[in-house]
Amino acid sequence: MNPKNLIIGSTLMVGFILSVYITLSEANRYANPVKSIPSSSVQVLNRGEERITLKDGYSRIGNLQGIVPGSWRRETPSSSMRLAQFSFSDESGTSELVVFAGIGGSVDDNLDRWLGQFRRPDNESVADHATISHEHIGDMDVNFVYTEGTYLQAGMGMRGPTIEKPNYGLMAAIIKAADGPYYFKCTGPKKVLDNYRNSFETFIHSIEPL
């Protein structure tokens, strides 16, 4: 066979084979398309996450932040009504600080209720002997409240007997923030509250909005 004709024949044969291969590949691709991932299985990360940066040494309390004294213990709130819960103690006993927000009643209503949980030895008005002061911390109004006497602690359940605790005190602050009032209520042995009054006031003065 003429070498020239052999080369031409081989070239035509290779071209034919490639053409058949390409045609079959295209037909197979359309017959079996690649399955797309259902949209429901696609995960979107970091969607709607809250980004809040606290100052160094500050702790978050709702939409506020403040410097919690190192001698205090932050605890898991014992009730869903409590926004935060702390305790501190000395040789005289232990006191509890509870933070509330979004509770019913006005500031005056809640203050009257707190004072009503105490009784003085002489049965005089607790409100008349309470120390109430008003301050501004940044753009927030703050009321400090102090009183002492016999603490009438409510018993367990609606019908539980009231537990009387003499020589107790109330140390509280009510901060009127942009998203509503925050109530910082501390009850405990009077001696403990006296020892921690400065740290309590320092803590309240450190609080600012996020």
**Rounded to an integer, what distance in angstroms lies between the CA atom of residue 37 and that of residue 47?**
20
- Whether 136 has a pLDDT exceeding 60, the answer reads yes
User: Which carries the bigger pLDDT value, residue 11 or residue 63?
Assistant: 63
CATH number, residue 125: 3.40.1000.10
**53: alpha, beta or left? (left if phi > 0; alpha if psi -120 to 50):** beta
What b-and-e string marks burial along 43-64, b requiring 16 or more CB atoms within 10 Å of the CB? eeeeeeeeeeeeeeebbebbeb
15 forms beta bridges with: none
100 forms beta bridges with: 183
Which residue is it, tokens 């006005």?
A: 106
Number of domains within the chain: 1
Q: Which of 24-28, 65-69, 103-107, 112-116 has the lowest mean pLDDT?
A: 24-28
- Whether 101 is covered by a domain: the verdict is yes
- Whether 83 is covered by a domain: the verdict is yes
> Residue type at 29?
R
Counting Cα atoms < 13 Å in the Cβ hemisphere of 16 gives: 6
Counting Cα atoms < 13 Å in the Cβ hemisphere of 92 gives: 14
Q: What is the pTM of this model?
A: 0.73
User: Which carries the bigger pLDDT value, residue 52 or residue 87?
Assistant: 87
- Whether 35 is covered by a domain: the verdict is no
CA R_g for the chain: 36
- Whether 49 is covered by a domain: the verdict is no
- Whether 108 is covered by a domain: the verdict is yes
- Burial (CB < 10 A; 0-12, 13-18, 19+), residue 182, is buried
- Whether 127 has a pLDDT exceeding 80, the answer reads yes
- Whether 144 has a pLDDT exceeding 60, the answer reads yes
- Whether 53 is covered by a domain: the verdict is no
Range of the domain at 75: 59-209
Write down the pLDDT at residue 9.
55
Please give the share of the chain, as a percent, with pLDDT higher than 70: 74
- Whether 31 is covered by a domain: the verdict is no
- Whether 52 is covered by a domain: the verdict is no
